[in-house]
Structure 1
Amino acid sequence: MTVSIAVTGATGQMGRAVLETADSRADVEVAFAVNRDATDASESVAGIAVEPAREFDALLADHRPDVLVDFTGPASSQNYVAVATEAGVASVVGTTGFGDEGEQALRELAQYAPVLKAANFGRGVHALVSAVESAVADLPGYDAEVTETHHNRKRDAPSGTAKTILETIEDAREESDPQRVHGREGEAPREQGEIGVHARRAGTITGEHEVLLAGNHEEVRLTHRAEDRGVFAEGALDAAVWLADREPGWYDFPDVVEGGDQ
């Protein structure tokens, strides 16, 4: 089966990666692509004309794709998903930086069409999170520090993946009131049970996440490093293929990796 997709944010870093990766896959075809700054269809990515975002509604009605793949910004993403949902089109959302209200709005839309949202579409990151969960459970009382590094154009900090890792650590510790400390300055001795969080932005780094667990005169470091955005594009397209025939509901990338139905 070939899954038809619509791609938003088509000239952004991830939008380009999705279109370029889709071009090499037999199970995916691009119905259309849009970008907010496009004024006409003169620009193309991987042979796909990039249309103005204002035409999204009409293009959706004309082409009837199976799945929307969105890597834009929280406000525009919410709007795209709302329009797609109304048309009965599933949505794969890789946009990060949503507040609680924005994510809740997406969850409400998922009542009417399938929505899969993930902070990271790397299968290696899924393995990292699983390893972190196990290590934290096996090392109670060890100090935990989370460091993430991304390119200098990334807006949200800490990254969505770092937030997922932090939630995993907190759940494994079963603490009711976890304390996250973002960076350190001045007199800042470490308090029992806190989790240090550090975000770095530099150059063109695709993405790196490290979890440090230290105690009892030993340390464990768990690290994932993405060398190319194609890693995330492949995962997002895997998610689109998996999501195409699902019932309305809220899904996450582990559902795809683990092959689950819920």
Structure 2
Amino acid sequence: MMKLGILGASGRMGQAVIANASRLNATVTAAVVSDQSSRYGEPIYPNAAEAGVRFQHAGEVKPEQVDVFIDFSLPQALENNIALAKRLRVPLVVCTTGLSEQQHSLLAQAGQSMPILYAANTSVGITLLRQLVQLTAAALPDTDIEIFEAHHSAKRDAPSGTAVVLGESAAAGRGKRLSELSAGVRGDGVREPGSIGFSVVRAADIIGEHTVLFAHPGERIELTHRVSNRQIFARGAVQAAEWLKDQPSGLYSMADMLQLKTLLKQLI
């Protein structure tokens, strides 16, 4: 079985991977938490302490301990996480959202010397949705575009990383960058022609919902993706890790893992 190291192991998604790894043909052999975490030293499976896997700090992970890292930590940990993966010569799947342009540049630079896959959302469905959004934006260049997203009340970034990449896909369909078209989260004011706006909901325990609306007078198209179980993200992250561990150095995406370009060429 593939040996997984989880960065940000005590968070919601880290816990989801730990809970589902065995049924996904993987085993968690390193569970990394921050230096301030109260979970340090605890067994990752409370009812199976004899298994020997405990929450640990990054500096304690040994090279032979993991085949690939999955990062579900926070943006401020990215640089250290990349350094850890490089030191141990282990591929890295980065699932952290809310990254800055500088951090995206850091990912691209890291990809020159190691296999690294960045996924703001590890759902296979979201990966397919991005392709549909880009195609629709290109085919309907005069429609208004709005992106609606909803998540649980503790989510930090807004709009979500997934909403942003959906916006990037819509802008790409128009031959533009999102920075040229984004109106940000909608507030007061008249809509600018061609702009892409965002609406954000943070409430209760909503796991993740995204809708991209394409509208012109008399007609609307809505492309929607909803998640009701975090196992979907865990499954996608482990699938990405399984694929990445056999790849050469480079910066990859979920679309690369699914070979979507090849599939589109076959259909065309």
Q: Normalization by structure 1: what TM-score?
A: 0.90
Change (3 A) 1:184 1:164: closer
Residue in 2 that maps onto 1:35: 33
Shift of 1:199: 1.6
Q: Which secondary structure does the structure 2 equivalent of 1:169 belong to?
A: helix
**8 Å contact kept, 2:24–2:235:** no
Q: Which secondary structure does the structure 1 equivalent of 2:24 belong to?
A: coil
Q: Which secondary structure does the structure 2 equivalent of 1:178 belong to?
A: helix
**8 Å contact kept, 1:145–1:196:** yes
Q: Does the alignment pair 1:60 with 2:62?
A: yes
Distance 2:187 2:18 in 1: 43
Shift of 1:172: 0.8
- Counting aligned pairs with the same residue, the percent is 34
Residue in 2 that maps onto 1:180: 182
**8 Å contact kept, 2:42–2:54:** yes
Unpaired runs of 5+ residues, structure 1, are none
Residue in 1 that maps onto 2:197: 196
Q: Please identify runs of 4+ aligned residues in structure 1 that moved more than 4 A.
A: none
After superposition, where does 1:67-106 map in structure 2 within 5 Å?
A: 67-106=68-107
Unpaired runs of 5+ residues, structure 2, are 263-268
**8 Å contact kept, 2:136–2:173:** no
Q: Which secondary structure does the structure 2 equivalent of 1:120 belong to?
A: coil
Residue in 2 that maps onto 1:213: 214
After superposition, where does 1:235-254 map in structure 2 within 5 Å?
A: 235-254=236-255
Q: Does the alignment pair 1:50 with 2:54?
A: yes
Change (3 A) 1:183 1:201: same
The number of residue pairs the alignment matches comes to: 255
Q: Normalization by structure 2: what TM-score?
A: 0.88
Q: Which secondary structure does the structure 2 equivalent of 1:11 belong to?
A: coil
Change (3 A) 1:219 1:8: same
Deviations 1:136-194 (A, max 9, x none): 222121111011111111111111111111111111112467332233434x1112111
Shift of 1:44: 2.1
Change (3 A) 1:183 1:31: closer
Q: Which secondary structure does the structure 1 equivalent of 2:89 belong to?
A: coil
Change (3 A) 1:14 1:86: same
User: Aligned AA for 2:196?
Assistant: I
Shift of 1:219: 0.6
Residue in 1 that maps onto 2:22: 23
Shift of 1:67: 0.4
**8 Å contact kept, 1:38–1:51:** no
